[in-house]
Amino acid sequence: MVTRHTRIVERALTRLKLRQLRLLVAVGQHGNIQSAARDLGISQPAATKMIQDLELDFEVRLFERNNRGVVPTVFGESLIRHGKLIFAQVSNAAQELDDLNEGNSGRVVIGTLLAASPMLLPVAVEMLLKDRPKVAVKIVEGTNEVLMPALLAGEIDMVVGRLPSHRHRAKIQQEKFYDERVVAVVGPDHPLARRRTVAFEDLTGYGWILPPVETTLRRQTDQFFVRQGQFVPAIAIESVSYLANRSLLRSHDFVGLMPAQVASLDIERGLLTAVDWTVPFGAGPVGVSYRTGDSLSPAGAAMVLALRHSASWVQAPAPAPLP
C-alpha cells in the first residue's frame, strides 16, 4: 500500500530541484515572489509555476497572499527550514572537500558558550589536534538563543557549554559532562574583595555586570532580584564579553556573575576575587549538543570524543599535565 508519505518522498526524490528550494527560501526572505524571482534571474511566471509545482508535489499550500505579497504557511515555514538545512549541508560538504583538497583531514565548526571557553573547549581542541593535526577547526561564540538555531540549520556542528533549556531539546542530542555553579566576582581592589561572609544586602550598593536577557542565567538572576524586594541595580551593564567584563570589574566597583570554571583562572592569578557569598541560583549542566538523526563527520565525532576526555581532565581533583 502506497501511503501519502511514501508518495511525497518518491516525488521529492525524483522531481525536486535545488533551484526550487532556492526560490522557496528567497520567497520566504522577501515575502514577495517577484523580488525572489529577480534574485534568481527568472521571470515571475516561471517562479509562480515552480512554487505551484512544489505545492502539488508536497500536497500542501506553501504561501498565503496578503496586501504586501505572500507569507509562508506552517507548511511553507517547515519546508523553508529544511531547505536552509540542505543548503547549509551542501556548503559544509563543499568546505570539507576544499579542506581535504588543501591537506586538512576534515573540518568541525563549534559553537561555544562562556561556560566552555576557559578550559573545557581549549583542552579538547588541543587533544583533537594532537590526534588529527590537519583538522580545520572553527569556533563561533554566542548565546544558546543564537547558537541553537544555527545548530539546527546545519551552520555549526555542535554547541559546547551550558546545555539549553527544554524548548531546544526535541531536535538535538545532548551529553552532560558536569554541573557548573555560578560565583560572584569583583576586582581585587573592590571593598568586598577581602571581606568575610558577605550577604546579598552588602552587594546592593554596587553596579552589576549581568548576562544578556535571553540567557537562562539572566532570567534566574532577575527572578532572584524580584524575590529580594524588587531589587534593581543602580548600574546594570549587560555583556557577554568576558574580556570587557574582566576589565570593568578591575577598574570599577562592580559585581559580576560568572560560571566558576570561567572565573577560576583569573581568581588564581589575582586578577579577580570571588565574593564570599554563595550564589543561590544559576547552577546547571555543561555539555555538548548536536543534531539528532544527523551523523557527525569523522572530525565532528573525534571532537565529541575529545570533549569527553577534556571534561574528565577538567573535573579531576588535581589535574595532571595534559596527556
50: domain CATH number is 1.10.10.10
pLDDT reported for residue 160? 94
pLDDT reported for residue 277? 96
Number of domains in the chain: 3
Residues 116 and 40 grouped into a single domain: no
Residue 98 within a domain: no
Residue 202, exposed/middle/buried by CB under 10 A (0-12, 13-18, 19+)? middle
Residues 11 and 51 grouped into a single domain: yes
Alpha-carbon dihedral 298, 299, 302, 306, rounded to 10 degrees: -170
| DSSP string covering 238-282 | E---HHHHHHHHHHS-EEEEEEHHHHHHHHHTTSSEE-S---SS-
Residues 35 and 76 grouped into a single domain: yes
In this prediction, the residues of the chain whose per-residue pLDDT falls under 70 are: 1-2, 99-104, 115, 117, 165-170, 293-295, 316-323
Angstrom CA distances, 110 to 122, 155, 162, 258, 300, stand at: 11, 10, 14, 21, 9
Whole-structure pTM value: 0.66
Report the percent of the chain where pLDDT is more than 90: 45
Residue 37 within a domain: yes
Report the percent of the chain where pLDDT is more than 70: 91
CB atoms within 10 A of CB 312: 11
Q: For the chain, how far is it from start to end, CA to CA, in angstroms?
A: 58
Residue-range definition of the domain harbouring residue 213: 182-282
Q: How far is CA 45 from the centre of its chain?
A: 40
CA-closest candidate to residue 296, choices 68, 128, 51: 128
pLDDT reported for residue 323? 45
Residues 194 and 233 grouped into a single domain: yes
CA-closest candidate to residue 287, choices 161, 182, 185: 161
CB atoms within 10 A of CB 103: 8
Residues 192 and 275 grouped into a single domain: yes
Residue 97 within a domain: no
Residue 190 within a domain: yes
Residues 6+ apart with CB under 8 A from 64: 70, 71, 72, 73
pLDDT reported for residue 292? 76
Residue 271 within a domain: yes
Angstrom CA distances, 115 to 10, 12, 88, stand at: 45, 42, 27
Alpha-carbon gap, residue 309 to 177, rounded angstroms: 10
Residues 148 and 209 grouped into a single domain: no
Residue 92 within a domain: no
Residues 197 and 266 grouped into a single domain: yes
245: domain CATH number is 3.40.190.290
Alpha-carbon gap, residue 40 to 50, rounded angstroms: 12
Residues 164 and 293 grouped into a single domain: yes
Cell numbers given for 177 = 559532562
Angstrom CA distances, 44 to 1, 28, 29, 304, stand at: 39, 15, 16, 47
Residue type, 130: K
Provide the 8-state DSSP code for 82.
Answer: H
Residues 187 and 276 grouped into a single domain: yes
Q: How far is CA 222 from the centre of its chain?
A: 22
Cell numbers given for 322 = 595534559
CB atoms within 10 A of CB 86: 15
Residues 186 and 176 grouped into a single domain: no
Residue 156 within a domain: yes
Could you identify the residue written with the cell 533551484? 19
Residues 64 and 201 grouped into a single domain: no
Confirm if 229 and 81 have CB atoms less than 8 A apart: no
Confirm if 137 and 247 have CB atoms less than 8 A apart: no
Residues 166 and 214 grouped into a single domain: no
Confirm if 257 and 171 have CB atoms less than 8 A apart: no
Q: List, for residues 22-40, the tens digit of each pLDDT value.
A: 999 899 989 989 999 999 9
pLDDT reported for residue 168? 55
pLDDT reported for residue 156? 92
Confirm if 231 and 277 have CB atoms less than 8 A apart: no
Q: List, for residues 198-219, the tens digit of each pLDDT value.
A: 999 999 999 999 988 888 889 9
Alpha-carbon dihedral 80, 84, 87, 93, rounded to 10 degrees: -140
